[in-house]
Amino acid sequence: AQKVTQAQTEISVVEKEDVTLDCVYETRDTTYYLFWYKQPPSGELVFLIRRNSFDEQNEISGRYSWNFQKSTSSFNFTITASQVVDSAVYFCALKMNTGFQKLVFGTGTRLLVSP
């Protein structure tokens, strides 16, 4: 069965703190992709990153970084020096080779960054 777990329901930090959002996934497929989306208060979904199951290199984009560890089935997302504009709900999602292209989402982590 396929599943994405985001155990942290809500995280509150103060501006400039670093914060890590956890994502753990389950799949029997050997070929799959993992995604992170951001949902700001306005409600739309914004694509952040994708990672395929064969590429375990970490990635950094500005203040954002992602750590993919296949051994622990985790794809964690770190925001460095958080800002108020980072306040949003963040979703981790899984797309499998056998899944007809559908995304399986976690329940999301609400990040609140206060000034």
Partner 1 sequence: NAGVMQNPRHLVRRRGQEARLRCSPMKGHSHVYWYRQLPEEGLKFMVYLQKENIIDESGMPKERFSAEFPKEGPSILRIQQVVRGDSAAYFCASSPPVAQLSDEQFFGPGTRLTVL
Residue ranges binding partner 1 (CB under 8 A): 6, 31-33, 35, 37, 42-45, 47, 50, 52, 91, 93, 95-97, 100-108
For residue 52, the SS3 value is: strand
Name the nearest CA neighbour of 109 among 67, 84, 78.
78
Contact at 8 Å (CB) between 13 and 111? yes
**Of 2 and 65, CB closest to partner 1:** 2
Q: How far is the CB of 36 from partner 1 (least distance, A)?
A: 10
Alpha-carbon distance of 104 to 76, in angstroms, equals 16
**Of 31 and 83, CB closest to partner 1:** 31
Q: How far is the CB of 106 from partner 1 (least distance, A)?
A: 6
